[in-house]
Chain A
Amino acid sequence: MKKLFSLFAVCLILLLSVNTVFAGEDTQEKYSLWFGSHYTEFSDYTKQVGKYDLGDDEFMPEFKVNYISKSSNGMFSLDGHYYDDHNVYGKVRTTVGNTFKANFKYRSMILQEGQDLLTVMEAREYLPSSGNAGGKMLTHEILDPNADYNTHRQEISSNIEAKLSNKYNMRLVVAHRSILKNGTEQKIASTHCFSCHMTSMTAQVDQTQHQFEAGIDASNNQFDLGYRFGYRVFENHATNATVNYEDAKHPVHGGAGGEFGPRMIYEDTTVEFSRYPKTEKMSHRLRLKKELGNGTVSGSAGYSKTENKYTDLSNKAYTGHLGYAFRMNDNTRMNIKVAVQKLQSDDPFIDLPTYREGATDGNTYDFDYTRYSSLDRMVSKFDAEMIKRLTPKVTLSLAAGYHMNNRDDYPVYDDGLNTKKMYGQLKVRHRKGLRYNSTLKYRYEKITDQYISGRGLFEESGHGVLEPLVDTSKWVFYFQREDLRYQDITSLPTQVHKFEWRSTYVPNNQISINMGLNAKFDKNNDLDSLEVEHTSYQPNLFISYNPNLDWTFNTGFTYTYDKSSLPVTVALFDG
């Protein structure tokens, strides 16, 4: 925290220096200071009502400061608010002519988080034949009861723009952002086989994220050109949480360790879990905008690489777009855009222990595989929109598009899904002076080959289908039942209807009425025995009434209704 404050103080001094140097003789200054105190009191459960305020039942000091200095040559302003040690805000801005512009911002806040009590993580096998409870069970244990999870988030950001040359209006643009998170959070680990057991514990949080961006912009009456380089790093410096995986035994009588142990990846050991990645991202982006004919053509190309330093796995992204916006006649405009994006992830080889290694009956299995990421994809988009002024009061917009999302290796390597989406959209806007305006929009989307889970939801009967791994054995293992799965599953739609309505009515200078409705209905009929549907609508009404210069009234109402019809998966014992 001291480092960030020091950085903020240095930025403040720098900007004050710049402002002092460029201050004109006609400088006007205005500043105010607010000082006071606040008292907070909580009752019952504090984590939800006090989500962003730790509170303290004693009077705490609080300060605010505002300063602005203006001259014909520029401006300098400072705003700050100290609520408590965890809630501080500061912003400094300066502008010097049209040659230099900068702002620095610091913000800190607290986030309180509740503790998942794991109460629904408890079940036990029931044996219908005897009417008794069986030995297989799922239990949970809170290792840190009454834990007080909270994280303190600090963010400092800066944006600087400086003119390098009047020729082509060349400008240097530099931006930076750091986010620091410190505190504690809940981690939940699950052990398996011998003890189907969920354990909850406290883990420390000490995260840093730094982002840096630099680039050059140039423009004249004919073109606008820019380049940006971006760099981002993220790391959690806290010690990772650990969990002890007990030695694997039969869940009922605790024996047969030699049979169950070699089926596990971890057993009788303590390992780190829920570890954050250490990531580094670098990006380059080039953009161009140019007048062409009676329109403007724009384009961009980008490349980025994100790497997890712990695993040496990386993801590359290539992006590009080309657009042309032009006037067809005095009343009609057209926007056309083509965009592509290619995501490519590393394909690591996953080396796993041999299943039932050392077994003398021959029933061993090698689960090693190459992981092809579902992130890998080629996205292509074509969008077009025509906007036409029908009358001085009515504007019509028609839009259509075709998007393709080709996942090369999902669900099967080199035999992926190519999801295609077509949409059409109609938008009408009516405006009657400043007194009344209204907008209606309808959009329809049709999607084919929607993204589905690579594995089916249900299992077929295994009788007469599954074979032992070797001829000399009669055993069929649970993992073989993966071959029996059927039923595509997804919560994503194949048809979408969207409707929006907005109206504003201002009968006189005292009253303003805004009302609207958002509605959406979607469904997926392409699944065998399942039907996925979502319905949502949200009407709203806002009224502002100012009867005279002394009174102001504002009121509003929003209602939200969502309904989803979705598959529910119920976990059962014994496979």
Chain B
Amino acid sequence: MADYENKASNMYFSTNFKATEKLRVFSTVTYYTAEGSLQEVLMPDVEDRLDGDLEDQDFDMEKIPSYSDLDYEFLSFKLGFTYKLTDAVTWSADGDYVDLKDNQGYVYGIETGSYFMVRSGFKVDF
């Protein structure tokens, strides 16, 4: 028998601000953590089931729990604005930054990585 524990926290904060009649600014921050771990493996007592010259073998299970350790931190930040150039044309720009920190690595190895995206464009209303 063994216990498997999983703990995850997710927090976010977002705001939208109309700075002027033409300018609107928005942002979102998200932070997420997740941990998973197998606790000590306790093998059942089988002494009463031994028969003949069989002996109970006491295997070392000490390292088995570490196979399943997971430990992630995730941060995402988004910032952008829209600016009304004319009644029909709006300029917008935004950016995303995502950072994942994998403190353990498991099936796919260490998955630590980051992602950055910037975007800008014009919206025309007809």
Q: Residues on A close to B: CB < 8 A? A: 30-50, 53, 55, 62, 64, 114-117, 119-120, 458, 460-461, 463-464, 529-531, 549-568, 570, 572
Contact = CB atoms under 8 A, between A and B. Distances in A.
Contacts of A549: 18
B112 A40 contact: no
A38 B117 CA distance: 7
Contacts of A39: 117-119
A565 B115 contact: no
B51 interface: yes
Nearest to A465: B51
Contacts of A464: 51-52
A48 B125 contact: no
Contacts of B16: 551-552
A32 B124 contact: yes
A570 B59 contact: yes
Nearest to B108: A114
Contacts of A572: 59
Contact of A45 (B17, B112, B118): B112
Given A463-B54, A554-B12, A554-B13, 9 more contacts: A33-B123, A55-B115, A461-B49, A551-B18, A557-B10, A560-B9, A561-B6, A566-B2, A568-B2
A46 to B, nearest CB: 6
A41 B64 CA distance: 38
Contact of A458 (B12, B46, B116): B46
Contact of B118 (A38, A53, A55, A552): A38
Interface residues of B, number: 58
Contacts of A560: 6-10
A458 B45 CA distance: 12
Contacts of A117: 107-109
B98 A49 contact: yes
Contacts of B44: 458, 529-530
9 contacts: A34-B122, A48-B102, A48-B111, A49-B98, A530-B44, A558-B10, A560-B7, A562-B7, A563-B5
A304 to B, nearest CB: 36
A50 B115 contact: yes
Please list the 4 inter-chain residue pairs (A to B) with the smallest Cβ-Cβ separation, ordered nearest first: A36-B121, A114-B108, A461-B51, A38-B119
Interface of B: 1-19, 38, 41, 44, 46, 49-54, 59, 61, 64, 67, 92, 98-100, 102, 107-126
Contacts of A562: 4-7
A55 B6 CA distance: 32
A558 B9 contact: yes
Contact of A49 (B19, B49, B113): B113
A32 B123 contact: yes
Given A47-B111, A49-B114, A463-B54, A557 B121 contact: no
B107 A116 contact: yes
B102 to A, nearest CB: 8
A53 to B, nearest CB: 7
Contact of B3 (A35, A37, A55, A565): A565
Contacts of B108: 45, 47-48, 114-117
Which of B7, B64, B113 has the most C-beta atoms of chain A within 10 angstroms of its own C-beta? B113
A64 B120 CA distance: 12
Contact of A567 (B1, B67, B92, B109): B1
Nearest to B126: A31
A176 B10 CA distance: 37
Contacts of A38: 117-119
Contact of B4 (A40, A62, A564): A564
B112 A553 contact: no
